[in-house]
Structure 1
Amino acid sequence: MPFTVADKGLNYNDYLFESRKKTERIYISTTQAYRVLKKAAIAVGIEDFGTHSLRKTWGYWTYKASRYNIGLIMDTFNHSSQSITLKYIGITQEEKDELYSLVQF
């Protein structure tokens, strides 16, 4: 069942993945984060997964949720052009054509 950060009593600055090896609250390494996420991806049948997959997925869904505001996503990713951002988040020509077909004259 989905939950929000607030449902779990967490603040937005809290770590989602804390180290289990320390008594104080510290984050896990990027290597360990990759291991955890890769194992979870395999468990649900996702084969081509990397830590950048999260960033790209966030970009894709934020692009859709922002009503296709590619400039916002481009700026967030610090890309030099919209075409780079569109390619990075996996927007195909077919999807661009669908977007264009939404406009009726």
Structure 2
Amino acid sequence: MVRHLEAGDELVLKEKKTGKHRRITLNKAVIASIQALLKSRDYDDGDHLFLGQRGCLTVSSVNRLVKTWCAEINLKGNYGSHSLRKTFGFHQRTTYGVGIAELMCTFNHSSQKQTLNYLCIQDEEIRNIYMNEL
């Protein structure tokens, strides 16, 4: 199913929590990673790409993996699978200048305020406004 995807192609996923559909556009890095994974072992077209010890990966199994990786490198803090999503959003906003409205749609949030609170950047941006000099 993913074997012939190219950069720019989209996947449509249905979120379990909200039941909403999400369109995800795949970039070159994702396609290269998928192709490398497909070469790493034999996959049939219907197989799940990512498997845990008990079958298909779940949010809780990814959460455990992130916590294990952080512990292995002695990273202090409480990180989990949700940290990956928030970090993605934070860097889209601060590094690439993606607008709050676009991130709101990406995260399926119902308001821009919810997205600002989610990314924990509102206070920082307000402080920076006051630091601007003419």
**TM bracket (short chain):** 0.5 to 0.7
| Bigger proportion of residues as strand | 2
What displacement does 1:36 show?
Answer: 2.0
Runs of 5+ unmatched residues, structure 2 = 1-27, 52-56
CA contact (8 A) 2:63 2:82 kept: no
Q: Secondary structure at the match of 1:14?
A: helix
1:43 counterpart (45, 53, 72): 72
TM-score by length of 2: 0.54
The two structures, once aligned, show a CA RMSD in angstroms of: 3.2
How many aligned positions are there?
94
CA distance in 2, matches of 1:91, 1:16: 35
What displacement does 1:14 show?
Answer: 1.6
TM-score by length of 1: 0.66
Runs of 5+ unmatched residues, structure 1 = none
Give the match for residue 80 of structure 1.
Answer: 110
Amino-acid identity (%)? 30
Give the match for residue 50 of structure 2.
Answer: 27
- The 1:15/1:87 distance shift into structure 2, 3 A limit, reads farther
CA contact (8 A) 1:63 1:69 kept: yes
